[in-house]
Structure formats: structure tokens, C-alpha cells
Structure 1
């Protein structure tokens, strides 16, 4: 590895498993020190995961107070943050929009969209003050296409894309770059929330005929989060296996 991120601190939300863990591993391999934010942070196995985070914090990204308290502790403990990866998210139920439970809708929006806003709102002033930052928001192809029966998830991820573009323009001259990635379906534990029919339909949309691997997401995120990504902001990087043509 090139160790492009030596000396940098990276916060990964939802970093205990799945895509978040894969991103954390890859950023660590590039030299970054990792701060893990997740609801439950017990049971970390350094040998199995391949590294020891500098901090593991129990954070509810749908609560601004929780995010602000955790970020303050990060600054107190390590002094600075260069990278924020907003990965925490839930799928929600797979059901028609007119039957979508309102409490489930509120929860998906709270975690998948409000959580991104709260984390960005909290981290951006620190990054602006230092004149450097990289924020990568994990969106989804569902946010570009709209996927039937997951209307809340689609709406939240579309919101993440639009928020990323808007905030990136505001920060374009501040040294803080915001981009997002839009993966097709990834092989993660999140599939447990989905019906087999939904999984099969998602796979059928991918011309490569397979699901995305978490490590492939991590590879893309690592480049976006690094110093070599210097003139791209407000962009949506597709990881679609050929599904996206725009």
C-alpha cells in the first residue's frame, strides 16, 4: 500500500461490519487512524479485523446531540479529523409505498439522510478551519433510479446525493471535498432485511450478473478520500456493474 493517508484520522459511521468495516480496513492499510462510530461497538476482534481503531464510539447518527458529543471526544482524544465516511444506514421494509409504515419511513429517513446531514454539519466547521477535508457519503443506485418497494430508502439516498452536491458547491474553495458513491446491491448482512424476490430483482438489473463486493466499495472510497482526488467534488461515483449509463 502507498500509505497516502499516513497521519490522517478517518471517522467511519456504521464501521463495525459490512461496507463500513471494509472501508475502515482499506483506509487503515493506507496509513489512516480509524475512528469507528456505530450503535453497538462491543465485540471488536482486532486479530480478525486486521487492525485496532484509535477509538470506538457508540453513536446514534440520527441524533445530532449524539454526533456532536462523539465528535468532541474525537477532537479531545486525537486532535483532528481529515476524513469522514458516512456509511451508516438501514434498508427498511420492502413494501409498496402506499402501505409503507409511517414509523418505518421516519426511521429510514432519520438514519440514512438526517444522519448524513448531522455528521457533515458537525465535521465541516472543523475541516474548514483546517483548510482540508474529505467527506464521502454512501448513497445508492436506488437514489438515482428509485427502486420499487423501498421508497423510503430510495428517497433517503436521493436526498444524500442532492445534499452532497449542494454542500460541495458551498465548500468548493475551502479545501473540503464532498463526494458520494452509488453502489448497486452489495453482499452484506443488510440482505437479511430483504425478501428473496427483491434480492433476485436487484441482481437481474446488473449487467455483470453479480453483486458488488464490499472491498470494491472500499477501494473506490479510499481514492475519493485521499489527496489524489483533488479536483472532483459534488460527484456521484457509480459502482453499478454496468447498470448506470448516466
Structure 2
């Protein structure tokens, strides 16, 4: 039988509504910290955790006057330590950490990357994740419970000719997740990460239409993802329903890793 060419159906408002109104997990009596939680995947995750009953603290460079929001530069280890200490002191503990702070870097060939740009991307994506995981782990290990979810990228699972610094930093996040996962397993703390593909977030600002179309064309589902779609997976990984997985990488790239 000839099935012809696949039909790509673009996401519409009805589908988006279905995504944002999905059921939530029970996070009552849980305290969560979301770095990079003022926009994109971080904001969608914070909203979903709140919908489940969690007390959610958002840490970001700019947070405005939002409730339970703290200004923080994740590249500053002391600032991250202060945020975690503040959350623990103010809310009585920290049960969930989601590391969603990140930067895409600039597009170019690997040998065109300057030292300053390399260090900047690594400082946000890899160092920032390490700072938050380290600070949270110290507290969670003492309490012998907790969930940590890091946001890596499908780019971190394979080399990227035009995004070498970004890909390398996200590959580091995957490996860092494995290290923390193994180290904290006996303490009752589970650490996992997600690897999103092309998601409709502010990180795509500045990417020209041709480059964006090319990225989407390599995704078998044939469209960009929505932040809420990633957030739903993160919510599961942060929930008590997750009991037997740590140090793992969960793909949310619409099949990009298979092409």
C-alpha cells in the first residue's frame, strides 16, 4: 500500500490549550527552586509545579516583583549558595531543584569561537548547573530525600558544527547529572536530566527563519515543541512517582536523536 508523503500538521491553539491544561502531580508540602524560572521552560515548569501545590521559588537574572522570586546570576557560586540557603531558611527546606538557566551562544564554526564566548557559555550552562546542584545536594543529602532535574539539550548528545560551545556545555550537563545521580543515590536523592530539541522559547530569538526551518525539518514530528511539553516531563522527574531512575537522560526532542 502506498501511504504517500507524511502529513505535517502544525500545532494550533487547541493543541496548545490541551498541553497547558494537563493533569498535574501532587506537590503539596514540597518546596521547589527553579533556576532560569522567569521564562521559557523554566517558567512553564514553575507554573506546573505550583499547579500541583508546590511552593516554588524562581531564581533568574531578572525576576521583577513576582512572588517567591530571587535575583540570581548562576555563574556566581556564592550567589547560588545564598539563594539555596534563603529558600531553606524561609520555607523550611528544599525538595526539588530544576536547573533551567541557560544561554544558546552564537552560531559559528568551532575555530571561530573566542575565549570569552567559550567561557561565557560554559559559565552559564555548565558552571551554573554545577553551582545549583552542589548547593542543593548538600542540603538534600542531609535530609536524605529530594529530586534534581537538569535541563540539557539534544545538542549535548552529539557534536554540533555550528554550536560547538553550546553543545559541549550541554554534554557536560548530561555527564554532571550522571555524576550527581550516582553520588546521591544512596541518600534518597534522584538526579536526572532532559534533553529538549527545538522548543519555542526566548532562546530562539535571533535565530533566522532559514536556520530555524532547517532545525525543525530534522525533527520527525515536524514542529517545534512547546515549553509546557518539556515541563510535563520535568514534573514527572521531580515527583514522588519517580522511584527507580537516577543519572538518566530523558529525550524530549521529537525524535531528533534518531535522525
Class of the TM-score when normalised by the shorter of the 2 chains:
over 0.9
1:19-64 CA distance string (max 9 Å, x none): 11100011111111100000011154xxxxxxxx4x2100110010
Rounded to whole Å, the distance in 2 between the matches of 1:38 and 1:2 is 24
Q: CA deviation at 1:3?
A: 5.0
Checking the alignment, whether the CA contact within 8 Å between 2:25 and 2:235 is kept in structure 1 is no
Displacement of 1:154 after TM fit? 0.1
Moved more, 228-237 or 140-149: 140-149
Q: Name the counterpart of 1:88.
A: 101
**Are 2:37 and 1:15 equivalent residues in the alignment?**
yes
Q: Which of residues 13, 30, 50 in structure 2 aligns to 1:28?
A: 50
Q: How many angstroms apart in 2 are the aligned matches of 1:197 and 1:146?
A: 21
Tell me which residue corresponds to 2:7.
Answer: none
Secondary structure, aligned partner of 2:69 = strand
Q: CA deviation at 1:105?
A: 1.0
State the shift of 1:170 in Å.
1.2
User: Runs of 4 or more off by more than 6 Å in structure 1?
Assistant: none
Shift of 1:240: 1.4
Q: Kindly name which structure, 1 or 2, has the bigger radius of gyration based on alpha carbons.
A: 2
Distance 1:3 1:187 in 2: 24
Instruction: Give the 5 Å matches for 1:135-154.
Output: 135-154=148-167
1:38 aligns with 2:60: yes
Q: Are 2:190 and 1:177 equivalent residues in the alignment?
A: yes
How far residue 195 of structure 1 moved from its aligned partner, in angstroms, is: 3.2
Q: 1:72 aligns to what?
A: 85
Calculate the aligned-residue CA RMSD, in Å: 1.4
Mark the runs of 5 or more structure 2 residues left unpaired by the alignment: 1-22
- Please state how far the C-alpha of 1:148 moved relative to its aligned partner: 2.2
Deviations 1:52-96 (A, max 9, x none): x4x210011001011011111112211100000000000011111
How many Å separate the matches in 1 of 2:214 and 2:170? 19
CA distance in 2, matches of 1:77, 1:213: 32
The CA distance in 2 between the partners of 1:196 and 1:122, in whole Å, is 39
Contact 1:12 1:84 in 2 (8 A): yes
What is the rounded CA distance, in whole Å, between the counterparts of 2:239 and 2:223 in structure 1?
28
Deviation at 1:173, TM superposition (A): 1.2
Hey, what does 1:49 align to over in structure 2?
none
Match of 2:145 in 1: 132
User: What SS does the corresponding residue of 1:193 show, helix, strand or coil?
Assistant: coil
Shift of 1:144: 0.3
Q: Which residue of 1 aligns with 2:27?
A: 5
Instruction: Kindly state the Cα deviation for residue 110 of structure 1 after the two structures are TM-superposed.
Output: 0.1
| 2:31/2:54 contact within 8 Å kept | yes
CA distance in structure 2 between the aligned counterparts of 1:123 and 1:156, rounded to whole angstroms: 20
